[in-house]
Chain A
Amino acid sequence: MREPTDLLMCVGPDDVHRLFPLALQLAATNLDFDGSVHLVGPDPDRITAIAKTIDCRGRRLFIHADQDVLPPAEASLAGWLRQQLIKLRADEVCQSRHIWCLGSDTLVVRPVQRTSVTRAGEPIIFYNRYRYPNPHLEYERRRVLSVARLLKVEPTTSYLLGDFIMDLTLFDRRHLMALRQYLARLYQNTSFADVLPTSIQTVAERRLFGEWTLYAVFVLDVLRFPAPVRNSRSRFVSQVHSEYDLVDDDAYGAAAIHFVSKAFEVKAIVAQLARRDLLESTDVPLGAFH
């Protein structure tokens, strides 16, 4: 009998009334998991009110406040960092060995089987590559280098791979626990807050850290764990950054789509999905977005 897998979603204040209902509905429909759903955010009452309206297909729903998940030093950080740290503590929120982690601005538009993201029972670490040379690849490699400095390791495996930003990821709880233990040994403390960049105002500062990148560099270059690695080719998770991306067919070939900009109108996103028949298998209340 296979082990259950839980789902963790971080629900930021900017998403709770935007894409979150659709993201939760599509995850419940298209994501292969049989454990519980854990929703974490700064406003659990608002999350509860919306989540209650979504059919989670019989899965148990747990809603947590940020401060219940994070130590005080981390709970007081900026929202962008706080959400990342919640994901890095997914094993403290969820019970299963493997944990789906999904952003509340990321829509799982096609069915994703757990067997397609594991090999020999181990979660695959996905990366994205681009036609070389590519400024975005260089940007993400700066992040790999920055995270590697934090981990005090040479990223000899992860550097070339480049971009680990996957807003849908299957974590292994053992690696999350090992990561925190490693950092605690390295810095003689147990809080991420003491080792993270203090300012994240600019694009350059934001590239200094990233939860998916930290996880990947740790597993591949610190643990040197034989985790399978695969190029997503933007077919597992794609990123929609701009108005141009929003109408570009390429973005909609992926299983999950991360809508990065908060400036996108939800109804415009829904229209793009509907045009490509990507909402047919769901019971999404489309009227709510029109």
Chain B
Amino acid sequence: MFRWARSTDLRHDSVLSLRRQLCDTADSVSAAELWRCWWIAAQTNLRRNMLLLGSAPQEGGLGRVLAGFLANHWQSPATFSVQASHDGGEIKCTYDQLGTMPNALGGMEVVDLLGHAAAAIRPGGRLILATEYVVGPEKGGRGPDWRAAITASKLMFESCTSCDPVPGDPRFNSVWRRARALLVARDRRWRRLSFGLVLRKPYRTADLCDCKFRLSPSAERASIARLPAARVSRRFDRLLLPAELRRRAGFSLTELAAAFRTETDDATDLLNELACRDLIIPVE
């Protein structure tokens, strides 16, 4: 679900106005910044009241980090706090200070940021992250290991059936090498690579005692268009669920466990995947 920025992403006429709706920042914005805002908006379906972390440009090492928190996915703003170590010191951000997050984050700082952000998000809530790497022609300096940071945070990737290379993956190194080779060929000093991802805080069994879930609208729409069994295709792999889970009234964790004949902890694991794939939503 996350991918590298393409210049074609910036051709949407609505991007600039969308950005103005989303964030109250200076008018002079870079192309990469526009892309991030457009991407975040597309991922979150948010229009207003989205909070973005990070701002000013940074050359060398990791560029800036922008993270959008869905307003209704956090714990209460009064208790919200994100911490990140920076330049040897520790920075604590409260709700009101989010816009002043440091821009350049190293490896351990990313782990800190994600770890604390994960603690602040409520179960089932999402963290939308967009960032960029600045690639220079010299070797080394690959930036933080996002994969390790995400693993440490215990957040889950959302909506992915396959992963593009993430910084920290072996596959990412080849992307990195290609980008650097291009710089050398064009005699340029540096180039930005942008990426973004959506992470979700998994539910624990204890979080789900009084919760009910039902098929998401997108899963219901796909259900209507489903193909006969003999033509199983990747397009509707997502819809292969027991019939009792497709009821409009929704289902509880206990009913999910019964449908798969598993114990409730195992069912929680299955439920988290369904939520990450946007197949189910909580019944309010």
- Contact pattern, A 128-164, Cβ under 8 Å of B = 1, otherwise 0: 0101110100100100010011001111110111000
Question: Given A153-B229, A227-B261, A160–B266 Cβ distance below 8 Å?
Answer: no
Q: Out of A133, A135, A226, which one reaches B261, CB within 8 Å? A: A226
Bound together, the chains give a CA A231 to CA B266 distance in angstroms of 6
On chain A, the residues within 8 Å of B260 by CB distance are: 157, 160-161, 229
On chain A, the residues within 8 Å of B105 by CB distance are: none
Q: Out of B237, B269, B274, which one reaches A129, CB within 8 Å? A: B269
Q: Is the CB of B259 within 8 A of A157?
A: yes
Bound together, the chains give a CA A15 to CA B256 distance in angstroms of 42
A230 within 8 A of B: yes
On chain A, the residues within 8 Å of B270 by CB distance are: 160-161
Bound together, the chains give a CA A228 to CA B260 distance in angstroms of 9
Question: Given A148-B232, A149-B232, A231-B262, A156–B243 Cβ distance below 8 Å?
Answer: yes
Task: Quote the shortest CB–CB distance from A49 to chain B (angstroms).
Answer: 44
Q: Is the CB of B237 within 8 A of A159?
A: yes
Q: Is the CB of B157 within 8 A of A133?
A: yes
On chain B, the residues within 8 Å of A155 by CB distance are: 240
Question: Given A138-B161, A160-B260, A132–B276 Cβ distance below 8 Å?
Answer: yes
Q: Is the CB of B269 within 8 A of A231?
A: yes
Q: Is the CB of A152 within 8 A of B230?
A: yes
Q: Is the CB of B162 within 8 A of A154?
A: no
Contacts of B252-266 to chain A: CB distance below 8 A: 259-263, 265-266
Q: Is the CB of A145 within 8 A of B237?
A: yes
On chain A, the residues within 8 Å of B160 by CB distance are: 132-133
Bound together, the chains give a CA A248 to CA B270 distance in angstroms of 26
Q: Is the CB of A132 within 8 A of B272?
A: yes
B278 within 8 A of A: no
B272 nearest CB neighbor, chain A only: A132
Q: Is the CB of B261 within 8 A of A228?
A: yes
- Contact pattern, A 207-228, Cβ under 8 Å of B = 1, otherwise 0: 0000000000000100000111
On chain A, the residues within 8 Å of B272 by CB distance are: 132
Counting chain A CB atoms within 10 Å of each CB, which of B156, B240, B269, B270 scores highest? B240
On chain A, the residues within 8 Å of B229 by CB distance are: 148, 152-154
Task: Quote the shortest CB–CB distance from B188 to chain A (angstroms).
Answer: 34
- Contact pattern, B 220-253, Cβ under 8 Å of A = 1, otherwise 0: 0000000001101000010011110000000000
On chain A, the residues within 8 Å of B157 by CB distance are: 132-133
Bound together, the chains give a CA A135 to CA B270 distance in angstroms of 17
Q: Is the CB of B262 within 8 A of A156?
A: no
Task: Quote the shortest CB–CB distance from B143 to chain A (angstroms).
Answer: 22
Question: What's the tally of chain A residues with a CB closer than 8 Å to chain B?
Answer: 26
On chain B, the residues within 8 Å of A230 by CB distance are: 262-263, 266
Q: Out of A133, A138, A160, A229, which one reaches B241, CB within 8 Å? A: A160
B273 within 8 A of A: yes
- Contact pattern, B 124-163, Cβ under 8 Å of A = 1, otherwise 0: 0000000000000000000000000001000011001111
Bound together, the chains give a CA A148 to CA B260 distance in angstroms of 17
Task: Quote the shortest CB–CB distance from B62 to chain A (angstroms).
Answer: 24
Q: Is the CB of B261 within 8 A of A229?
A: yes
Contacts of B158-191 to chain A: CB distance below 8 A: 160-163
Q: Is the CB of A160 within 8 A of B262?
A: no
Bound together, the chains give a CA A145 to CA B273 distance in angstroms of 18
Task: Quote the shortest CB–CB distance from A137 to chain B (angstroms).
Answer: 9
Counting chain B CB atoms within 10 Å of each CB, which of A145, A156, A230 scores highest? A156
A228 nearest CB neighbor, chain B only: B261
On chain A, the residues within 8 Å of B274 by CB distance are: 160
On chain B, the residues within 8 Å of A145 by CB distance are: 232, 237
Question: Given A133-B157, A154-B229, A230-B263, A141–B237 Cβ distance below 8 Å?
Answer: yes
On chain B, the residues within 8 Å of A131 by CB distance are: 151, 156
- Contact pattern, B 117-128, Cβ under 8 Å of A = 1, otherwise 0: 000000000000
Q: Is the CB of B232 within 8 A of A229?
A: no
Q: Out of B151, B243, B273, which one reaches A132, CB within 8 Å? A: B273
Task: Quote the shortest CB–CB distance from B217 to chain A (angstroms).
Answer: 20
Bound together, the chains give a CA A226 to CA B261 distance in angstroms of 7
Q: Is the CB of A133 within 8 A of B262?
A: no
On chain B, the residues within 8 Å of A160 by CB distance are: 240-241, 260, 270, 273-274
B1 nearest CB neighbor, chain A only: A133
On chain A, the residues within 8 Å of B230 by CB distance are: 149, 152
On chain A, the residues within 8 Å of B276 by CB distance are: 132
On chain A, the residues within 8 Å of B242 by CB distance are: 156-157
On chain A, the residues within 8 Å of B263 by CB distance are: 230
- Contact pattern, B 92-129, Cβ under 8 Å of A = 1, otherwise 0: 00000000000000000000000000000000000000
Apart from A160-B240, A229-B260, list 16 A-B contacts with CB within 8 A: A131-B156, A132-B156, A132-B272, A133-B161, A138-B162, A145-B237, A148-B232, A149-B230, A149-B232, A153-B229, A154-B229, A154-B232, A154-B240, A159-B237, A220-B261, A226-B261
A-B residue pairs, 5 tightest by C-beta: A159-B240, A133-B160, A231-B266, A229-B261, A154-B229
**A residues touching B (Cβ–Cβ < 8 Å)?**
129, 131-133, 135, 138, 141, 145, 148-149, 152-157, 159-161, 220, 226-231
Q: List 15 A-B contacts (CB under 8 A).
A: A129-B269, A133-B160, A133-B161, A135-B163, A138-B162, A145-B237, A149-B230, A154-B229, A154-B240, A160-B270, A160-B274, A161-B260, A161-B270, A229-B262, A230-B262
